[in-house]
Amino acid sequence: MPIPERETPKGRRESYVLPKVPVPPLKQSLDMYLSSIKHLVKEEQYRKTKSIVEKFGEPGGTGELLQKKLVEKSDNTYNWVYDYWLEDMYLNQRLALPVNSNPAMVFPKQNFTDRKDSLRFAAHLITGVLEYKERIDTRTLPVDFSRGQLAGTPLCMKQYYRLFNTYRLPGLKRDTLVIHKTGSTEQEHIIVACKNQFFVLDLVVKEKKLKEMDILTQLEKIVKMAENTEERQPPIGLLTSDGRTEWAQARDVLIKDSVNRESLAVIEKCLCVVCLDDPSGMEVGDTSRALLMLHGGGHEKMGANRWYDKPMQFVVGEDGVCGTVCEHSPFEGIVLVACTEYLMKFMTGSPSKMGRATSVSELPTPGRLLWETTPHIQGLLKASAGRLQRLVRDLDMDVHKFQVYGKEFIKKQKMSPDAYIQVALQLAFYRCNGRLVSTYESASIRRFHEGRVDNIRSATPEALAFVKAMTDEKASLSDSEKIQRLWDAIKAQTNYTIAAITGMGIDNHLLGLREISRELQMEVPEIFTDETYVASNQFILSTSQVPTTVEMFCCYGPVVPNGYGCCYNPQSDHLLFSVTSFHGSTETCSAVFIRALDEGLVEMRDLCKKSNKPQSNAAALKTVEKSQGAGSKPLSTPRENREISHTEEALRCPY
């Protein structure tokens, strides 16, 4: 039974109890599952799936048995879904991390006067990171509380404690998320990447912590050393950009040599990586900056100046292209935003301490990590470079600022901005493809102990009715019928959101039932081999709201070859969208999707404006309270659920 760490917090001001993630009632999830796919598959396929699902859920059937086992698991663990989810979502995935898995935060373009100016920025950033890390180590980060829907609940902070002390180790079949003890003395260095070389920047020298001035001095030395072509090492970082199995195989070859073993050990324990990038030569716009964050522009640009396994990788480009690239498995984008916003505010709000004296009179020269290669390893590097290049060529990205209105306009309509944007995304997809598809929207379940996310399946039947009203049935429906369908779609979306954030989503539940059947070494139940289930987990539209309060934005790639990745950042007066797809697919085109989105958002505004009788907020909320979710029966709330107890099972958030 995984026991969460129970560390004594220093300076903790908040103390509260977080409930466990509930196990939703079986029938509720099965009903929700059926109604989430009914309108997305052919009638005949639906009939087949329905009978499989009914058989699974019949009294005394496999579903009941698995549900019982899952409830037992929930009783005996702190979070029944955490490991299943982590493995399914990340560690079992074999695709390369850049584009396919690692999201990026793109900072505002910096205007550096010269290389030294960019190094000053990097030194200041590192100082901010160390300050933030200190807050993590001393457990003095303020506790987050939920906002938006069901606001005011304390949220689990565990993800923050995985920002700097984790590492995703590649495995032949499954990766491992290595977690170092927070504040460990092994972790007193960062890795600086420059010209595809990796240097060790020790943060403590002669038992003294480096000051910002010292860090700058060390960075200058690193840049100089990196320029020395005679000592140049092979671009080993490229291997981390490869498929996970390929990288694991290459790593097995690398570690045969003790020099490589040592270099890997140092990287795998670092706090974070700071990539000092040369100018990319690309025109610096939102889209090109986002591309450089996601894949570095390939091996000919900055693609090898990275170590993709490390969760926190800060990029500081001489041309002002800066941001963070993240290995996603230890934390969600929201935690990443909190950390990077802290850093941005630190950078702009606290003056650089360059004027102060150095802490150590003589700083040792930072060590360059050495690599022993063989023709075999050279061949592996070439293959990795080729595969990264294909990924670079394939990624179709468009970052777009919709400036006609922002979330304040939507709020004035008494609608949830997030639900509204999701409905707009459905409309855009329908416009482009004439159908709706299985859609993923991440819903935070941090209100539960060690909660990560579940899925809001946004392609609801009500969304389909609405998008049809705006397209195929446009001419035959009145404005009031259209606005009614918009309201229905928004309500269905809001209801699903509330279900998902209160632990009543279906994706985690079905995953748990599937995985527990594996643990019991049962034959995989038909419900999980059924083509509908398989298709319903191919998220052609993968979406996520990542809002920021300072100027920056998040982006990520599609999760299937014929899909879109759509990250959005709703602001008061505008909405920022970062849309990705693959050129290789004939079914997608990011620019076309953006155009359809723009068009739909304007039409939705016009429709709202025409409606002179918007449903009152109270009425809307009443409907939400009477929510039937996406299923046909009322959802249990977590408080009613037997898995949630605030007494003997209650858990103290361990920080």
Closer by beta carbon to ligand COA, 26 or else 453? 453
Examine residue 557 and tell whether it contacts ligand COA (CB under 6 A): no
415 is a site residue for ligand COA (CB under 6 A): yes
Using CB under 6 A, which of 197, 280, 544, 581 touches ligand COA?
A: 544
652 three-state secondary structure: strand
Q: Which helix (H) or strand (E) holds 176?
A: strand 176-179
Cβ closest to ligand COA, residue 119 vs residue 566: 566
Q: How many residues line the site for ligand COA (CB under 6 A)?
A: 23
For 367-402, the DSSP string reads EEP-----HHHHHHHHHHHHHHHHHHHHEEEEEEEE
**Taking CB under 6 A as the rule, does residue 293 contact ligand COA?**
no
- Is residue 442 close enough to count as binding ligand COA by CB under 6 A? yes
Partnered with residue 580 across adjacent β-strands are: 397, 565
| Residue selected from 69, 414, 468, 574 as contacting ligand COA according to rule CB under 6 A | 414
For 212, counting Cβ atoms within 10 Å of its Cβ (0-12 exposed, 13-18 middle, 19+ buried), the class is buried
Q: What pairs with residue 274 in β-bridges?
A: 192, 314
Interface residue with ligand COA, options 148, 379, 434, 634 (CB under 6 A): 148
Query: CB of 497: closest distance to ligand COA in angstroms?
Result: 5
List the one residue from 176, 365, 617, 632 that touches ligand COA (CB under 6 A).
Answer: 617
Among residues 377, 380, 527, 620, the one that binds ligand COA under rule CB under 6 A: 620
Nearer to ligand COA, 316 or 415 (CB): 415
Residues 537 and 535: their CA atoms lie apart, in Å, by: 5
Q: How far is the CB of 494 from ligand COA (least distance, A)?
A: 7
Structure-token match 């092994």, residue found: 186
d(CA 591, CA 635): 39
CB-based closest residue to ligand COA: 148
Note whether 271 binds ligand COA by CB under 6 A.
no
CB-wise, 263 or 627, nearer to ligand COA?
627
Q: How far is the CB of 415 from ligand COA (least distance, A)?
A: 5
Stretch that binds ligand COA, among 88-96, 104-112, 425-433, 538-546 (CB under 6 A): 538-546
CB of 501 to ligand COA, least distance (A): 5
- For the residues of 539-586, what is the DSSP string, one character each? -SEEEEE---SSS-EEE---SSTT-EEEEEEE-SS-EEEEEEEETT-T
Give residue for tokens 């706090």. Answer: 271
> d(Cα 616, Cα 409) in Å, to the nearest integer?
15
Site string for ligand COA, 7-46 (x = CB under 6 A): ----------------------------------------
Find the part of the chain contacting ligand COA (CB under 6 A) among 93-101, 116-124, 195-203, 407-415.
407-415
**Minimal distance in Å, beta carbon 157 to ligand COA?**
15
β-partners of residue 444 are: 453
Complex with ligand COA: residue 276 or 453, whichever CB lies closer: 453
Judged by CB under 6 A, the chain residues 450 through 509 that form the site for ligand COA are: 453, 497, 501
* Burial of 388 per CB tally in 10 Å (0-12, 13-18, 19+): buried
**Which CB, 567 or 596, lies closer to ligand COA?**
567
Nearer to ligand COA, 280 or 416 (CB): 416
* 444 lines the binding site for ligand COA (CB under 6 A): yes
Whole-Å CA distances, 301 to 296, 324, 393, 444: 6, 17, 13, 36
Strands 651-652 and 17-18: antiparallel
Distance CA 160, CA 332 (A): 9
Cβ of 185: how many Cβ atoms within 10 Å? 7
Taking contact as CB under 6 A, which single stretch among the options 17-25, 60-68, 266-274, 437-445 is the one that binds ligand COA? Answer: 437-445
Cα–Cα distance measured from residue 382 to residue 238, given in angstroms and rounded to the nearest whole number = 9
CA–CA distance, 147 with 337 (Å, rounded to integer):
15
Cβ 161 to ligand COA shortest distance, Å: 17
Report d(CA 3, CA 651) in Å as an integer.
Answer: 11
Q: Which of the 8 DSSP states describes residue 185? A: G
Segment contacting ligand COA (CB under 6 A): 178-186, 210-218, 242-250, 441-449?
A: 441-449
Smallest gap from residue 521 Cβ to ligand COA (A): 33
CB of 329 to ligand COA, least distance (A): 11
576, 549, 140, 90: which is closest to 340 by C-alpha?
549
Min dist. Cβ of residue 624 to ligand COA (A): 8
Cα distance between residue 560 and residue 587, in whole Å: 12
Q: Which stretch binds ligand COA (CB under 6 A): 350-358, 515-523, 541-549, 632-640?
A: 541-549
Say how far apart CA 585 and CA 504 lie, in whole Å: 34
Q: Which residues from 330-359 bind ligand COA, rule CB under 6 A?
A: 332-334
Question: Tokens representing 243?
Answer: 């498929």
- Among residues 442, 441, 440, 436, the alpha carbon closest in space to that of 462 is found at 436
Token representation of residue 236: 């080993």
The residue among 27 and 411 lying less far from ligand COA, judged by its C-beta, is: 411
- Give me the least distance between CB of 34 and ligand COA, in Å please: 23
Q: How far is CA 415 from the centre of its chain?
A: 25
Helices (H) then strands (E): counts for the chain: 20, 20
User: In this structure, are residues 150 and 498 in contact, taking their beta carbons and an 8 Å threshold?
Assistant: yes
- Choose the stretch contacting ligand COA; rule: CB under 6 A; options: 82-90, 137-145, 283-291, 415-423: 415-423
Q: Contact 443/454 with Cβ under 8 angstroms?
A: yes
Residue of 180, 411, 468, 595 that binds ligand COA (CB under 6 A): 411
Of residues 16 and 145, the one with the C-beta less far from ligand COA: 145
Binding of ligand COA by 122 (CB under 6 A): no
Pairing of strands 312-317, 273-277: parallel
> Is there binding between residue 149 and ligand COA (CB under 6 A)?
yes
Residue pair 132/575 in contact by the 8 Å Cβ criterion: no
Nearest approach in angstroms of CB 298 to ligand COA is: 25
Which residues are known to be catalytic? 328
The neighbour count for residue 353, using CB atoms within 10 Å, is 12
Nearer to ligand COA, 263 or 502 (CB): 502
Q: Which is nearer to ligand COA, 320 or 505 (CB)?
A: 505
- In the complex with ligand COA, the residue whose CB is nearer, 480 or 617, is 617
Interacting residue ranges for ligand COA, rule: CB under 6 A:
147-149, 332-334, 411, 414-418, 442-444, 453, 497, 501, 544-546, 617, 620
